[in-house]
């Protein structure tokens, strides 16, 4: 399976089920912390994990789930940590007599506030004028590096496209004819070619199908 939603057992996904996000940055890492993929765009939380355009594209880089993967979500990619800290301080000043869970409505969608606070380890009922610099740092970390372990992907029948197939080195590209078996032609997902979401896989199907059809006539 490729271009497929990812599965996470994190309770945070269940807490955020149905929440869709725009303009976030997602990075995917292996268990050793090596960056495998990063992109900016839209995603959403589901009862089984995460989905959406940037998640689907990330899935193309995650193959051996036994080794373990995790993703890091930057909820405020337009703000570096220093600017984000200043923004939080302004909000805390604006809502200085309120508790934390009621003082973040300008910064996050309401559906995310409780979860982000829990992730940060802060007390949602603590007044913002009592929050320490160290606690504020924990909140910034939650906003800039919201991590989820990835255990797998949905089954292949849930995938947009499959990866793997006939090696392109064994195919004559002009006609899509097999170099090994006379009279045999390939097209679409049977060929070991797949791409990110965005119409590329449809183009592969159409182009290879046309080439194979014309190749048969030759």
Amino acid 198: pLDDT: 82
Strand positions, DSSP E, the chain: 6-7, 20-30, 35-45, 49-51, 69-74, 146-150, 152-153, 171-172, 177-178
Amino acid 1: pLDDT: 85
Over its length of 218 residues, how does the chain's per-residue pLDDT go in tens digits? 889 999 999 999 999 999 999 999 999 999 999 999 999 999 999 999 999 999 999 999 998 899 999 999 999 999 999 999 999 999 999 999 999 999 999 999 999 999 999 999 999 999 999 999 999 999 999 999 999 999 999 998 999 898 899 999 999 999 999 999 999 999 999 999 998 888 899 999 999 999 999 999 76
Which residues lie closer than 8 Å to 3 by C-beta, 6 or more apart?
Answer: 56, 57, 59, 60, 159, 160, 161, 194, 196, 197, 201
Q: Are the C-beta atoms of 71 and 27 separated by less than 8 Å?
A: yes
Amino acid 105: pLDDT: 95
Burial bucket for residue 126 (CB in 10 Å: 0-12, 13-18, 19+): middle
Query: Could you give phi then psi for residue 151, rounded to 5 degrees?
Result: -95, -20
Amino acid 196: pLDDT: 85
Amino acid 39: pLDDT: 96
Which residue reads 């995917």 in tokens? 28
Helix, strand, coil percentages, rounded to 5, for the chain: 40, 25, 40
d(CA 64, CA 163): 13
Amino acid 217: pLDDT: 78
d(CA 150, CA 129): 37
Amino acid 63: pLDDT: 85
């Amino acid at each position: 399976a490729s271009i497929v939603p990812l599965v996470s057992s994190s309770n945070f996904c269940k807490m955020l089920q149905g929440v869709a996000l725009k303009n976030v940055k997602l990075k995917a890492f292996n268990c050793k912390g090596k960056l495998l993929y990063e992109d900016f765009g839209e995603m959403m939380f589901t009862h089984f994990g995460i989905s959406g355009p940037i998640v689907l594209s990330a899935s193309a880089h995650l193959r051996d789930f036994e080794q373990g993967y995790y993703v890091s979500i930057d909820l405020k990619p337009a703000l570096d940590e220093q600017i984000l800290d200043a923004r939080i301080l302004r909000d805390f000043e604006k809502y200085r007599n309120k508790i934390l869970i009621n003082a973040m409505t300008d910064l996050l969608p309401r559906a995310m506030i409780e979860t982000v606070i829990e992730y940060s380890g802060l007390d949602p009922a603590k007044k913002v004028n009592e929050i320490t610099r160290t606690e504020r740092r924990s909140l910034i970390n939650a906003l800039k590096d919201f991590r989820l372990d990835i255990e797998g992907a949905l089954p292949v029948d849930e995938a947009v496209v499959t990866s793997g197939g006939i090696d392109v080195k064994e195919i004559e590209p002009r006609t899509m004819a097999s170099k090994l078996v006379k009279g045999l032609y390939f097209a679409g997902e049977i060929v070991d070619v797949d791409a990110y979401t965005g119409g590329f896989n449809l183009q592969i199907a159409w182009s290879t199908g046309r080439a194979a059809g014309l190749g048969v006539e030759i």
